[in-house]
């Protein structure tokens, strides 16, 4: 009798995984094609919970795929396209070897082409899904648009990348969706908000291409990613343009310019589009692109009001940001990177132009008197106009990040720039010590006491009576605990007690009134502020007790951390105060000595 | 002898055949050749006057028009194609047979009546099967050509497209199973997309927020922080390297080549009868020593006596009984030990709780870390930074640091999208060793190497 039992690895983890080799066998593809298919379809290798079981007892580390994933790949129609490619390659190889150049040309003209539309739809069922995954796509496309034609990156791919990225920039300009810019040593970091999704991407600096060593990056793999992302970006652009009521492929209404005698109309249009300087024409000119602005609805019952207030302020700030550079005219000098600056300025409503010989699409000359700002990046210029500011490019980026026009004094031509801070660190949410200088950068209304001011003041005062000026300069960041206690004020409790006392008193009063029937002036019941505070604290402590055991440790550590940070801030502030006062003393001493010398 | 050879042989020219064979017609042939040449090219040059042969070039010297590439091309275009040259007569001599026959085409060879009938049929739309097929194929090819996807052509909103509804299975009378079956068997099987497609393989964002110290003009504190991070990493690396050095290289002494050789010699000749040693007689005697026992003496199949077996069995039974009695006794005693057991259990639970917490913590920590997807371990890219003296403080002079492509590649690996691997730059093909068969050896191959 054969014992019918369970065989090993027929179920469970042993049955769920396939090694790469067995996947290749199952799909009947070469490793090259399999890699490409996986990248295009978004199927990635997996790590099993128990490797030994997943590999049927083998403990060496293999690349494993989920069985269901491979079964999913089996249905893909582009597998047949891969086989077509194989045959195509064989034919081309043969024709080349036999020197049948006619046949070769015929084959090359009729090369098979992968169609990836359905895969884009499959991987991103909704437009929002596609937007969520746009970071990678944009970064790679921007990168590949700077590449020359090299092995595995045909010229048409890099050209297409360039076209699509420029189109995307136009969409961002039209939607006014840019929020943050950061110039790092790697490249330009941009952050935009489209349909409520934050999209971050990196654009390399100008002329940043450097040849790669072969074993560092697999170009074949990266170009496969780009092959997919190009299609995805194309469809995203299409959708974005249509949502903004613009033509896609983009058109722009060219004013009857003088240089109409052009050989190639297409080149003319694509160059103008690449200039980023002229608005694209919308489908019907009467209705401009719908703004995404919405009035924030009031839901007083739902969340706590402070949170709602914060979000309202945020919306207002963003609204203001969208028209940051409106009404300003900029001229970009030759030495300044044109594309990032034009993109940023146009995103916030600025008018931009540049030297005619630099790039097509400039709209006004340097000699135009209505220019308000000229962006220069050189220490000095011979010919300067008095009607405009000569500022360094960092002013633009810092203004965008501060969400308001910063004073230009620090950014004038030739001056040493203040540091360019990253907008991606959320400093205001953390409890961190911000020195007064940095705070002045973040918040232009805030004034730092510089040494000069100090000296002037002290001169006015003459004899030093130490005023707590520094106190004024200090910024106090409210701790969240204080906020929490404020928010949870229970106002009912004291009222009830008041009414109760009122009851007992009224009894007596009624009797009195019965006797006297005299109207006396009512007394205002005064709430004891200490009492109220005490009760609040008590309640707060009670609520703390009610925290579930599951979260108690977390809560404790949170509170501890908060306390520590507050302490650190206090310490740093104290250090600063001492430092400032000693410095002041020193200066005073110096001045006195100087005076004595002068008199002597 | 030589003279004899040079001497003309006398041959008979008796018969017509031998006459033809031996008669010298060279002069006649030459004359005829000349005549033909004359016919082709006119009178011989020697007979013609200078005026006929030469002309004085009075026109100014022309520059060749074919200077530019375009002109050369134009000239080439206007020239008669080389491929037609073969169709032209290559002599000036006219064809002696004026009425040469020409092979007619099958169409021409047809009977005019048949031809007319066929034309009528074609007009009526009655085509041959071959022609019908050809037309069909032509239409198909044209359609295929038109529908061929073009790179960079985006002309539809794929997210607004409606899913195709199969009308034939849209009925309330069909169960879902029936619908599935019908669709599957009519080649319209709907595949289910795996859930993993919508889940990202990692929680790490695609573009991570840059460190504020990587700004082209960073603030002092940010820059110092970044440098501290970089320095810490570097120190760790150095420590690791030092450790590896200590554990491997430094464990061994440096020895001169002679010494090494000597020690090798010694090691290799261990146990061998060398010249220095006199042949041992002791070892020989040892072999025959009766006192020495083998490590593994041969076993003997000795049977136990029955009495011994019985006694052993009894002992086993007794042991079992004793054990059971002990367990029973313990049961009774445990009632008085409840407190102790309770503490033991609580201690155990406490330990388990602790372990569970640790496990949860490690799991949380591992979420952001790259998974093990292949034999090669993921190596985090080195952070990009600029030293303080390299910072210039303006956009014009600042230079790019780091490689964005490598950065992306590493990011994909970090997010479990790509399995990290070493690129194989050379295929490790097995080296083929060539031999020559002894039978085919000729012996001179080695000398010509």
CATH, residue A393: 3.40.50.10190
Q: List CB contacts (< 8 A) between A46 and chain B.
A: 371, 373
Crossing angle for the helix pair A480-487 and A549-599, nearest 10 degrees?
120
Q: List CB contacts (< 8 A) between B149 and chain A.
A: 113-115
CA of B359 to nearest chain A CA: how many angstroms apart? Answer: 14
Q: Which residue has the tokens 């909704």?
A: A126
* CA-closest candidate to residue A279, choices A258, A254, A249: A254
Answer for the pair A363, A349: CB distance below 8 angstroms, yes or no.
no
Q: Which residue of A has its CA nearest to B201?
A: A44
3-state class (DSSP) for residue A351: strand
Predicted local distance difference test score (pLDDT) of residue A493: 41
- pLDDT tens by residue, B437-447: 888 777 666 66
Q: Which of A50, A82, A109 is the last residue of a domain?
A: A109
Report yes or no: B407 at the A interface, CB cutoff 8 Å.
Answer: yes
Report yes or no: B268 at the A interface, CB cutoff 8 Å.
Answer: no
Interchain proximity B416–A47, CB inside 8 Å: yes
Containing structural domain, residue A173: 117-209+216-253+263-275
Whole-model pTM over 0.80: no
Indicate whether A549 and A576 sit together in one domain. Answer: yes
Indicate whether A226 and A145 sit together in one domain. Answer: yes
List, in order, residues 6 or more apart from A253 with CB less than 8 Å away: A281
Predicted local distance difference test score (pLDDT) of residue A228: 96
Predicted local distance difference test score (pLDDT) of residue A98: 95
Indicate whether A195 and A269 sit together in one domain. Answer: yes
Total domains present in chain A: 4
Predicted local distance difference test score (pLDDT) of residue A87: 96
Interchain proximity A218–B409, CB inside 8 Å: yes
Indicate whether A408 and A456 sit together in one domain. Answer: no
Report yes or no: B161 at the A interface, CB cutoff 8 Å.
Answer: yes
Q: List CB contacts (< 8 A) between A419 and chain B.
A: 215, 217-220, 222
Least CB–CB distance from A214: residue in B149, B197, B425: B425
Indicate whether A336 and A402 sit together in one domain. Answer: yes
Q: List CB contacts (< 8 A) between A156 and chain B.
A: 151-152
Predicted local distance difference test score (pLDDT) of residue A443: 67
> Where does residue A217 fall: left (phi above 0), alpha (psi -120 to 50 degrees), or beta otherwise?
beta
Predicted local distance difference test score (pLDDT) of residue B64: 63
Indicate whether A445 and A563 sit together in one domain. Answer: yes
CA of B377 to nearest chain A CA: how many angstroms apart? Answer: 10
Strand segments (E) across B225-303: none
Predicted local distance difference test score (pLDDT) of residue A470: 38
Q: Which residue of B has its CA nearest to A239?
A: B157
Q: Which residue of A has its CA nearest to B363?
A: A49
Q: How far apart are CA A347 and CA A179, in angstroms?
A: 9
Answer for the pair A268, B188: CB distance below 8 angstroms, yes or no.
no
Least CB–CB distance from B218: residue in A186, A231, A419: A419
Predicted local distance difference test score (pLDDT) of residue A579: 93
Report yes or no: B196 at the A interface, CB cutoff 8 Å.
Answer: yes
Interchain proximity B215–A420, CB inside 8 Å: yes
Predicted local distance difference test score (pLDDT) of residue A490: 40
Answer for the pair A354, A331: CB distance below 8 angstroms, yes or no.
yes
Q: List CB contacts (< 8 A) between A102 and chain B.
A: none
ipTM attached to this prediction: 0.77
Indicate whether A407 and A442 sit together in one domain. Answer: no
Q: List CB contacts (< 8 A) between B420 and chain A.
A: none
**CA–CA–CA angle B146, B152, B158 (5° rounding):** 85
Q: What is the CA radius of gyration of chain A?
A: 35
Q: List CB contacts (< 8 A) between B154 and chain A.
A: 231, 234-235, 237-238, 248
Mutation site for B-interface testing, chosen from A184, A283, A411, A441 by largest number of B Cβ within 10 Å: A184
Indicate whether A388 and A436 sit together in one domain. Answer: no
Least CB–CB distance from B158: residue in A61, A117, A230: A117
Least CB–CB distance from B210: residue in A182, A378, A392: A182
Joined together, the tokens standing for residue A520 give 């006396």
Q: List CB contacts (< 8 A) between A202 and chain B.
A: 207, 404
Predicted local distance difference test score (pLDDT) of residue B443: 67
CA of B183 to nearest chain A CA: how many angstroms apart? Answer: 15
Long-range residue pairs from A127-131, CB within 8 A, at least 24 positions apart, any chain: A127/A195, A127/A236, A127/A239, A127/B159, A128/A195, A128/A197, A129/B198, A130/A232, A130/A235, A130/A236, A130/B159, A131/A194, A131/A195, A131/A197, A131/A199, A131/A236
Joined together, the tokens standing for residue A381 give 């210029």
Q: What DSSP assignment string belongs to A368-434?
A: -TT--EEE--SS--SS--TTSEEE-THHHHHHHHHTSPPPGGGGBTTSPPPP---TTS-TTTS----
In a domain, A402, yes or no: yes
Mutation site for A-interface testing, chosen from B206, B356, B360 by largest number of A Cβ within 10 Å: B206
- Backbone angles phi and psi of B260, in degrees to 5: -60, -45
**Residues comprising chain B, all counted:** 449
Flag residues of chain B having pLDDT under 70.
1-8, 63-66, 165-167, 274-289, 443-449
Indicate whether A46 and A69 sit together in one domain. Answer: yes
Least CB–CB distance from A61: residue in B201, B374, B384: B374
Q: Which of A79, A109, A139 is the last residue of a domain?
A: A109
Mutation site for A-interface testing, chosen from B83, B191, B212 by largest number of A Cβ within 10 Å: B212
Domains of chain B, by residue range, sit at 203-250, 305-373
Predicted local distance difference test score (pLDDT) of residue B418: 94
Answer for the pair A395, A174: CB distance below 8 angstroms, yes or no.
no
Crossing angle for the helix pair A265-275 and A155-175, nearest 10 degrees?
50
Joined together, the tokens standing for residue A385 give 């106009």
CA of A166 to nearest chain B CA: how many angstroms apart? Answer: 14
Flag residues of chain A having pLDDT under 50.
258, 286, 289, 451, 454, 457-500
Q: How far apart are CA A170 and CA A233, in angstroms?
A: 13
* CA-closest candidate to residue A349, choices A314, A379, A319, A381: A319
In a domain, A300, yes or no: no
Predicted local distance difference test score (pLDDT) of residue A58: 93
Indicate whether A43 and A94 sit together in one domain. Answer: yes
Interchain proximity A143–B222, CB inside 8 Å: no
Q: What is the CA radius of gyration of chain B?
A: 52
* CA-closest candidate to residue A307, choices A299, A295, A317: A299
Predicted local distance difference test score (pLDDT) of residue B107: 87
In a domain, A457, yes or no: yes
Crossing angle for the helix pair A219-243 and A134-144, nearest 10 degrees?
110
Q: Which of A109, A141, A169 is the last residue of a domain?
A: A109
Interchain proximity A143–B405, CB inside 8 Å: yes
Q: How far apart are CA A164 and CA A235, in angstroms?
A: 10
Interchain proximity B404–A422, CB inside 8 Å: no
- How many CB contacts within 8 angstroms connect chain A with chain B? 213
Q: How far apart are CA A135 and CA A202, in angstroms?
A: 8
Report yes or no: B146 at the A interface, CB cutoff 8 Å.
Answer: no
Indicate whether A193 and A248 sit together in one domain. Answer: yes
DSSP 8-state class, residue A448:
-
- pLDDT tens by residue, A547-569: 888 888 889 999 999 999 999 99
CA of A495 to nearest chain B CA: how many angstroms apart? Answer: 46
In a domain, A578, yes or no: yes
Report yes or no: B363 at the A interface, CB cutoff 8 Å.
Answer: no
In a domain, A288, yes or no: no
Indicate whether A449 and A551 sit together in one domain. Answer: yes
Interchain proximity B216–A184, CB inside 8 Å: yes
CA of B215 to nearest chain A CA: how many angstroms apart? Answer: 4
């Amino acid at each position: 009798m054969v014992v019918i039992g369970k065989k090993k690895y027929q179920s469970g983890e042993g049955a769920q995984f396939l090694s790469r080799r067995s996947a290749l066998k199952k799909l009947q593809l070469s490793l090259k094609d399999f890699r490409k298919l996986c990248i295009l379809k978004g199927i990635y290798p997996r790590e099993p919970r128990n490797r030994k079981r997943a590999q049927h007892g083998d403990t060496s580390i293999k690349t494993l795929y989920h069985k269901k994933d491979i079964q999913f790949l089996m249905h893909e129609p582009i597998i047949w396209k891969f086989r077509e490619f194989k045959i195509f390659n064989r034919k081309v190889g043969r024709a080349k070897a036999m020197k049948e150049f006619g046949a070769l040309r015929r084959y090359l003209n009729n090369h098979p082409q992968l169609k990836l539309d359905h895969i884009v739809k499959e991987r991103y069922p909704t437009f929002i899904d596609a937007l969520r995954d746009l970071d990678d796509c944009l970064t790679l496309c921007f990168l590949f648009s700077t590449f020359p034609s090299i092995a595995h990156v045909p010229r048409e791919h890099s050209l297409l990348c360039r076209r699509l990225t420029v189109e995307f920039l136009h969409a961002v300009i039209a939607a006014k969706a840019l929020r943050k810019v950061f110039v790092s040593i790697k490249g330009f970091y941009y952050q935009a908000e489209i349909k409520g999704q934050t999209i971050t991407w990196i654009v390399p600096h100008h002329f940043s291409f450097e040849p790669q060593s072969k074993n560092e990056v697999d170009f074949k793999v990266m170009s496969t990613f780009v092959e997919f992302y190009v299609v995805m970006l194309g469809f995203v652009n299409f959708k974005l343009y249509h949502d903004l009521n613009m033509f896609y492929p983009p058109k722009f209404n060219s004013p009857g310019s003088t240089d109409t005698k052009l050989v190639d109309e297409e080149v003319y249009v694509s160059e103008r589009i690449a200039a980023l300087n002229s608005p694209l024409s919308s489908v019907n000119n009467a209705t401009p692109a719908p703004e995404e602005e919405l009035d924030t609805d009031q839901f007083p019952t739902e969340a706590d009001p402070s949170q709602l207030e914060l979000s309202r302020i945020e919306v207002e700030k963003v609204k203001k940001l969208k028209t940051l550079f409106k009404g300003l005219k900029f001229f970009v000098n030759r030495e300044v990177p044109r594309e990032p600056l034009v993109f940023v300025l146009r995103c916030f409503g600025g008018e931009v132009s540049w030297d005619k010989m630099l790039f097509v699409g400039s709209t006004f000359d340097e000699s135009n008197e209505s220019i308000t700002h000229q962006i220069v990046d050189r220490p000095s210029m011979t010919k300067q106009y008095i009607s405009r500011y000569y500022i360094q490019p960092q002013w633009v980026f810092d203004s965008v990040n501060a969400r308001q026009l910063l004073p230009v004094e620090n950014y004038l031509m030739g001056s040493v720039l203040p540091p360019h801070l990253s907008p991606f660190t959320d400093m205001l949410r953390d409890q961190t010590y911000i020195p007064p200088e940095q705070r002045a950068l973040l918040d232009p209304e805030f004034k730092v006491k510089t040494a000069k001011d100090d000296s002037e003041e002290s001169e006015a005062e003459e004899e030093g009576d130490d005023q707590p000026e520094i106190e004024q300069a200090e910024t106090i960041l409210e701790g969240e605990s204080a906020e929490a206690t404020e928010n949870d004020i229970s106002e009912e409790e004291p009222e009830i007690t008041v009414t109760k006392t009122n009851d007992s008193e009224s009894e007596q009063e009624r009797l009195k009134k019965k006797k006297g029937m005299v109207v006396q002036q009512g007394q205002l019941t005064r709430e004891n502020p200490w009492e109220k505070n005490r009760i609040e604290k008590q309640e707060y402590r009670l609520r703390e007790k009610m925290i579930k055991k599951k979260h108690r440790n977390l809560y404790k550590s949170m509170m501890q951390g908060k306390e520590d940070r507050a302490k650190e801030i206090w310490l740093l502030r104290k250090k600063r105060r001492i430092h400032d006062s000693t410095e002041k003393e020193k200066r005073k001493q110096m001045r006195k000595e100087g005076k004595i010398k002068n008199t002597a | 002898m030589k003279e004899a050879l040079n001497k003309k042989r006398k041959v008979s020219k008796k018969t017509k055949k031998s006459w033809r064979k031996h008669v010298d017609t060279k002069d006649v042939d030459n004359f005829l050749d000349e005549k033909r040449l004359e016919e082709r090219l006119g009178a011989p040059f020697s007979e013609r006057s200078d005026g006929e042969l030469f002309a004085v070039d009075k026109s100014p010297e022309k520059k060749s028009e074919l200077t530019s590439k375009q002109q050369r091309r134009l000239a080439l275009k206007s020239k008669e194609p080389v491929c037609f040259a073969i169709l032209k007569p290559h002599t000036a001599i006219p064809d002696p047979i004026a009425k040469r026959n020409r092979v007619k085409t099958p169409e021409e060879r047809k009977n005019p009546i048949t031809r007319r009938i066929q034309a009528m049929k074609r007009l009526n739309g009655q085509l041959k099967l071959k022609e019908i097929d050809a037309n069909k194929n032509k239409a198909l090819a044209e359609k295929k050509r038109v529908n061929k996807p073009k790179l960079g052509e985006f002309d539809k909103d794929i997210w607004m497209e409606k899913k195709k509804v199969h009308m034939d299975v849209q009925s309330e009378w069909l169960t879902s199973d029936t619908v599935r079956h019908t669709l599957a068997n009519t080649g319209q099987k709907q595949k289910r997309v795996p859930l993993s497609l919508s889940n990202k393989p990692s929680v790490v964002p695609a573009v991570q927020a840059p460190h504020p110290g990587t700004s082209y003009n960073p603030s002092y504190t940010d820059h110092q922080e970044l440098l501290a991070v970089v320095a810490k990493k570097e120190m760790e690396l150095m420590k690791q390297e030092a450790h590896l050095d200590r554990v491997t290289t430094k464990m061994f002494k440096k020895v001169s080549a002679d010494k090494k050789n000597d020690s090798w010699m010694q090691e290799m000749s261990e146990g061998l009868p060398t010249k220095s040693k006199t042949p041992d007689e002791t070892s020989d005697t040892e072999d025959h020593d009766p006192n020495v026992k083998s490590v593994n003496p041969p076993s003997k199949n000795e049977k136990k006596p029955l009495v011994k077996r019985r006694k052993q069995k009894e002992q086993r039974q007794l042991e079992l009984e004793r054990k059971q009695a002990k367990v029973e006794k313990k049961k009774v005693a445990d009632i008085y030990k409840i407190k102790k057991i309770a503490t033991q259990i609580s201690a155990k639970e406490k330990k388990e709780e602790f372990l569970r917490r640790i496990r949860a913590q490690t799991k949380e920590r591992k979420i952001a870390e790259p998974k093990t997807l292949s034999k090669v371990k993921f190596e985090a890219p080195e952070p990009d930074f600029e030293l303080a003296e390299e910072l210039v403080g303006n956009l014009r002079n600042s230079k790019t640091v780091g490689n964005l492509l490598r950065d992306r590649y590493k990011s994909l690996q970090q997010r479990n999208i790509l399995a990290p691997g070493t690129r194989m730059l050379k295929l490790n093909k097995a080296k083929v060793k060539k031999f020559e068969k002894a039978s085919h050896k000729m012996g001179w191959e080695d000398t010509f190497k």
